Chains A and B, each alone.
Chain A
C-alpha cells in the first residue's frame, strides 16, 4: 500500500504545482449515471458524459480550438492468451502468456485523431492508444508482443477495447459531449475515467472520475447466492428441476 501511495503523492504534488504554473482553465465532467446496473435485459449500455472547460477572465488567450481526450479503463484483471499450434492433424493450444493486470475494458475517445491533438511522444507518454497501454508489458517481457497484439485484436472484436477519434463532440468551444459504449459482455466492477483538455497541443487541464458496473437487484441476488450459498442455490435449482418435471408429468399424463 505504501509503495503505491508514494507515486500517488508525487503525482498529486506535481498536479498542484503544475496547475499553478500553466493550467489556467478548469475541466469539469458529469455523467448521465455513475452506476450501471446489469439486469436481465442488459445487452450493453451507453453512458453520456458532458464536459466543460471553464475559463476565467485572466486565463491566457488560446489561438486554436480546445481538444479533449478521454481514457476509460475497466477493472484490472489477469488474462491468459494462448496460441494454437498444429500437433499432427490437430490444432492444440501451445504457448501461452499470462497478463497479470490488464484493463478488462479500454476505450480511448477523442474529438479528432490523437496524433493531430498531440505529437507522437506525448501520445506515448499519455498512453493515448490501446497499444500504448501494453507498452509497459512489452518493455519488461519482450516475448509478450505477439500475445499483446492478439489480446488487443480479440478484445477489439468483442467491443471491449477500442479507440474512437470521432466520439467527442464539441457543442460550443468549451462544452463537449461524448458517449461511452459498453458491450453486453461488459466486465463488472469499477471503471476509471481520465479526461484531459488540450489547447495548441498542450495539456491545459485534466480530471478523473469513475463509475461502477454492477448486477442489478435480482441478478445480483442470484449471482451472490450462487457464489456464497452454493449448496442452498444448488438445492433451489434441484427443487425447480423436480417441480418442473413433476408438473410436466401431470400435464402430459397419458394413462
Chain B
C-alpha cells in the first residue's frame, strides 16, 4: 500500500517502511542500541531525501528512548546528576549540529556531508568494535578490564570535578561534557541517538557502573533528540510527521520483541555482531562513492523542495 509523504514529497510503500522499522527496532532491542545508525541510512537507501530521513528519525529515536528510559527509571538505574551533565552537552551539540546541517544544506553539500560523516563515524566505531571483540575472542587471556583500569586517571586529574553518588564516581565534568557535545552534534547531523558511542565510552573510559550506563544514556538521548527534532522542525522544516509515525509504530514494537529475544552467545561474539553491523553500514555508504556510478550525473532541485 502506497502512502504519500507530505514533506518528503514522494509516495512510499507503507509496509516496506513499517517492516524496515520493525526489523531495525528488533535489532535495537536485541543489542540495546537506538538503531538510528541503521534506520537513517536504510531510509536514505530507499530514496527518501537525506534531510527528511535525518530529521524524522530524530523524533522516532525520541519515542524509542522514552520507553527505554522509563523502564530503567523504574528500576532506579539512572544517574540523574550524570545525566544532567550529559544532557547539557548533548543540547549544545544538537544546536551546533543543526546549525551545521542548515549551513551545509544552503550550500548544497548536505548529502555529501551526511555520507562522509557516516563513513567516518560508523567506520571508526565499527572498526574499533570489531578489533576489540576479535581481540577478546582470539586472546581470551588478555583482560581488557585490567588494561583500562588505570586509563581513567586523566579524567580524575582534570578540573571541575564532580561527585556522582549514584555511580560512585568523582570525575571531571569537562571530558563528559565534550563527549556529550560530540554525540549531540553527530546525532542531530546524522539522525543517530549515539548510544552505540556513549555506552561504551562511559563504561570503558569513565568507568561508570554498567548498571546505570544504559538508563543514563537513554535519558541523554531522549532529551537530545527532542531538542534536535524541535530544531529541525523549526529551522529546516524537514520532519515528515507521517514518516515519523510509521517509524515510531514499527520501531517501538520491534524493540519490545528484540528486548525479549535472547541469543545465547558470549558477550564478545555479541559485540562482534554489533561491530559487523555498524561497520557494514559504513561499507554500504563507502560503496556509493567507491564503485563507479552507472550515471555520473545527478540532478537536484535547488528551489523550494518540490
| Chain A residues at the B interface, C-beta cutoff of 8 Å | 38-43, 77-86, 89-93, 98, 104, 146-147, 150-151, 153-155, 184-185, 187-188, 215, 219, 222-223, 226-227, 230-231, 233-238, 240-242, 244-246, 248-249, 252-255
Are the C-beta atoms of A92 and B289 separated by less than 8 Å? yes
Q: Please report the C-alpha to C-alpha distance between residue A219 and residue B289 in the assembled complex, in whole angstroms.
A: 35
Residues of A within 8 A of B74 (CB): 255
Instruction: Verify if B157 is at the interface (C-beta below 8 Å from A).
Output: no
CB contact list, B208-260 vs A, under 8 A: 226, 229-235, 237, 239, 241-242, 244-245, 248-249, 252-253, 256
Instruction: Verify if B299 is at the interface (C-beta below 8 Å from A).
Output: yes
Instruction: Verify if B302 is at the interface (C-beta below 8 Å from A).
Output: yes
A-B pairs, 9 with minimum CB distance = A245-B66, A234-B233, A150-B297, A241-B63, A230-B234, A248-B252, A184-B11, A234-B230, A219-B6
Q: When A86-B292, A241-B63, A252-B256 are in contact, do A81 and B298 touch as well, CB less than 8 Å?
A: yes
Determine which of B75, B108, B234 lies in contact with A234 in the assembled complex, contact meaning CB atoms within 8 Å: B234
CB contact list, B1-53 vs A, under 8 A: 2-4, 6-7, 9-11
Are the C-beta atoms of B59 and A249 separated by less than 8 Å? no
Q: When A237-B59, A240-B241, A245-B65 are in contact, do A89 and B290 touch as well, CB less than 8 Å?
A: yes
Are the C-beta atoms of A238 and B230 separated by less than 8 Å? yes
Residues of A within 8 A of B63 (CB): 240-242, 244-245, 248
Are the C-beta atoms of A226 and B241 separated by less than 8 Å? yes
Using CB atoms, name the residue of chain B closest to A42.
B4
Residues of A within 8 A of B248 (CB): 240-241, 244-245
Instruction: Verify if B70 is at the interface (C-beta below 8 Å from A).
Output: yes
Are the C-beta atoms of B297 and A79 separated by less than 8 Å? no
Q: When A226-B239, A241-B62 are in contact, do A154 and B297 touch as well, CB less than 8 Å?
A: yes
Residues of A within 8 A of B249 (CB): 244
Are the C-beta atoms of B62 and A242 separated by less than 8 Å? yes
Are the C-beta atoms of A234 and B239 separated by less than 8 Å? yes
Are the C-beta atoms of B226 and A222 separated by less than 8 Å? no
CB contact list, B64-87 vs A, under 8 A: 64-67, 70-71, 74-75
Are the C-beta atoms of A78 and B301 separated by less than 8 Å? yes
Determine which of A43, A153, A187 lies in contact with B306 in the assembled complex, contact meaning CB atoms within 8 Å: A187
Are the C-beta atoms of A235 and B230 separated by less than 8 Å? yes
Are the C-beta atoms of A248 and B234 separated by less than 8 Å? no
Residues of B within 8 A of A188 (CB): 9, 306
Q: Please report the C-alpha to C-alpha distance between residue A108 and residue B210 in the assembled complex, in whole angstroms.
A: 66
Are the C-beta atoms of B233 and A231 separated by less than 8 Å? yes
Measured CB to CB, the closest approach of chain B to A251, in angstroms, equals 8
Q: Please report the C-alpha to C-alpha distance between residue A222 and residue B6 in the assembled complex, in whole angstroms.
A: 7
Besides A150-B297, A233-B241, A234-B233, 7 more A-B contacts (Cβ < 8 Å) are: A41-B3, A78-B301, A82-B298, A91-B291, A184-B10, A237-B239, A246-B67
Size bracket of the B interface: 35 or more
Residues of B within 8 A of A223 (CB): 6-7
Residues of B within 8 A of A91 (CB): 289-293, 296
What are 8 pairs between A and B in contact, CB < 8 Å?
A: A79-B299, A79-B302, A80-B299, A154-B299, A226-B241, A234-B229, A237-B233, A248-B256
Instruction: Verify if B167 is at the interface (C-beta below 8 Å from A).
Output: no
Residues of B within 8 A of A219 (CB): 4, 6
Instruction: Verify if B295 is at the interface (C-beta below 8 Å from A).
Output: yes
Are the C-beta atoms of A83 and B233 separated by less than 8 Å? no
Residues of B within 8 A of A235 (CB): 230
Q: When A42-B4, A86-B292 are in contact, do A233 and B233 touch as well, CB less than 8 Å?
A: yes
Instruction: Verify if B300 is at the interface (C-beta below 8 Å from A).
Output: yes
Instruction: Verify if B103 is at the interface (C-beta below 8 Å from A).
Output: no
Q: Please report the C-alpha to C-alpha distance between residue A207 and residue B122 in the assembled complex, in whole angstroms.
A: 58
Q: Please report the C-alpha to C-alpha distance between residue A38 and residue B306 in the assembled complex, in whole angstroms.
A: 13
Instruction: Verify if B112 is at the interface (C-beta below 8 Å from A).
Output: yes
Are the C-beta atoms of A40 and B3 separated by less than 8 Å? yes
Are the C-beta atoms of B66 and A246 separated by less than 8 Å? yes
Q: Please report the C-alpha to C-alpha distance between residue A154 and residue B296 in the assembled complex, in whole angstroms.
A: 11
Q: Please report the C-alpha to C-alpha distance between residue A236 and residue B244 in the assembled complex, in whole angstroms.
A: 11
Are the C-beta atoms of A90 and B256 separated by less than 8 Å? no
Determine which of B4, B66, B293 lies in contact with A41 in the assembled complex, contact meaning CB atoms within 8 Å: B4
Determine which of A153, A154, A240, A246 lies in contact with B59 in the assembled complex, contact meaning CB atoms within 8 Å: A240
Residues of A within 8 A of B10 (CB): 184-185
Are the C-beta atoms of B293 and A84 separated by less than 8 Å? yes
Q: When A219-B4, A219-B6, A242-B66 are in contact, do A249 and B297 touch as well, CB less than 8 Å?
A: no
Residues of B within 8 A of A79 (CB): 299-302
Instruction: Verify if B303 is at the interface (C-beta below 8 Å from A).
Output: yes
Residues of B within 8 A of A185 (CB): 9-11
Measured CB to CB, the closest approach of chain A to B292, in angstroms, equals 6
Measured CB to CB, the closest approach of chain B to A133, in angstroms, equals 15
Using CB atoms, name the residue of chain B closest to A154.
B299
Are the C-beta atoms of B297 and A83 separated by less than 8 Å? yes
